[in-house]
Structure 1
Amino acid sequence: MPARTEIVEFNGLAGRIDCAVDWPDDAPRGWALCLHPHPLHEGTRDNKVVTTIARACVQQGLVALRPDFRGVRGSAGVFDKARGETEDMRELVAQWLERQPELAGTPWVLAGFSFGTAVAAQLDATLADAGMDRPAALVLAGTAVWRFQFRDVALPDDTLIVHGEHDEVVPLGELFDWTRERSVPVVVIPGATHFFHGKLLLLRQLVLTRLSRVLP
């Protein structure tokens, strides 16, 4: 559990971005951006998969940011099929580091669940194009990047992709079709569905293991 959670506001291209910030007990050694599922299907920053990943990040000493996308609760704008959401998250990253200059240059983690994976993967590619610091780890759960893809995406070789064997929203075969030419391994959790019901502790452990490898 985080030591404390505060609600902060960032400025996106469509207006306010409402964001929860989970702080660790001790001085943070980095930060994480955790992105939620489809806004038109009740996806919010409080989704259990998102909070599971965020708690793993906090346990590893990172500040975890959980923004609400456009049109969700206090965030302005309307759903933009990942394009506007990606630009908003680029603005959020820049504003966060301006507000927390002590975290500039520290390792950070970019994670997404379902629709959030489309924003995360395309944000990573956008940051690379701009010469900005890319995350030390990219974590994608219930991946659906291709369903909302508006630009080329080159996943880092060490991207952690976790998927449920019985994902009823994004069938496993679709994911394999997308990853086959990318040579990025997929971790399949046997018996898991899209929302990882009954498997969240295992998902958390997979994220913790990856973070322990990439964080100094």
Structure 2
Amino acid sequence: MAERKETWVAQGQAGAVDCVVEWPEGPVQGWALVLHPHPLHGGARDNKVVTTISRTCLAHGLVAVRPNFRGVGASEGSFDHARGETADMLQLVEQFQAAYPQACAGHWVLAGFSFGTSVAAQLYSSLQGARQPDAVLLAGPAVERFRFRDIALPEHTVLIHGEADEVVPLAEAMDFGRAHDLPVTVIPDASHFFHGKLLTLKTLVQLRLRAL
């Protein structure tokens, strides 16, 4: 559980990026940026997959940052097929690191779900010359659907996919893993939103965080 929860507003290319920042109960070990699914299909920072990942990060001492993408909640702008969203997140990272240097001195975890995986992957690939995340977690990866640039992900990237994903077929996730030489962890019978499988998802995230 979070010790405290606050609203923080970053400035992206299209204006305000409304974020929730949650602080762990114990000593701060770093921070996590967790990105939500498709804004035009109900995706928002309170999505249950996003909050599951976020709470797991909190339990490991990470400050959890959950922004709303353009056009969602109080965030300004309109959907930009991951291009604008990636640019916004790049500015958010810079601003968060300047505003909360103590949190950012520890580990940095970058995570995304569905559409958020495409933004996360392209954000990671845009951080040339800057500090890169210590862990990348992509659940229900839909990176190729919104890709606008070359992708370079670290070998420690974790890809988690549902066997019965009805939005992003398993074969698509496997093709992405194959193209980037990354293993894919498949949760049997899990749907795109991991209905009834969130505890399994949590366990997989925990395993990666324990390795930091």
Structure 1 and Structure 2 fold alike (TM over 0.5): yes
Letter in 2 for 1:146: E
Unaligned runs of 5+ in 2: none
Unaligned runs of 5+ in 1: none
Residue in 2 that maps onto 1:189: 187
Residue in 2 that maps onto 1:106: 106
Residue in 2 that maps onto 1:115: 115
Residue in 2 that maps onto 1:203: 201
Q: What does 1:123-134 align with in structure 2 at a 5 Å threshold?
A: 123-127=123-127, 129=128, 131-134=129-132
Residue in 1 that maps onto 2:154: 156
Q: What does 1:88-107 align with in structure 2 at a 5 Å threshold?
A: 88-107=88-107
Deviations 1:62-107 (A, max 9, x none): 0000000000010000000000000100111110111112234321
Residue in 2 that maps onto 1:23: 23
Letter in 2 for 1:150: F
Aligned residues: 212
CA distance in 2, matches of 1:178, 1:92: 27
SS at match of 1:23: strand
**Is the 2:36–2:115 contact (alpha carbons within 8 Å) kept by the matching residues of 1?**
yes
Deviation at residue 110 of structure 1 after TM alignment: 0.1
Deviations 1:126-162 (A, max 9, x none): 01x2x11111100000000000000000121111100
CA-atom RMSD in angstroms: 0.8
Runs of 4+ in 1 over 3 A off after TM superposition: none
Letter in 1 for 2:152: A
Deviation at residue 181 of structure 1 after TM alignment: 2.6
Residue in 1 that maps onto 2:58: 58
SS at match of 2:21: strand
Residue in 2 that maps onto 1:178: 176
CA distance in 2, matches of 1:211, 1:197: 22
Is 1:145 aligned to residue 143 of structure 2? yes
**Is the 2:31–2:104 contact (alpha carbons within 8 Å) kept by the matching residues of 1?**
no
Query: Could you state the TM-score of these two structures normalised by the residue count of structure 1?
Result: 0.96
Percentage identity across paired residues of the two chains? 58
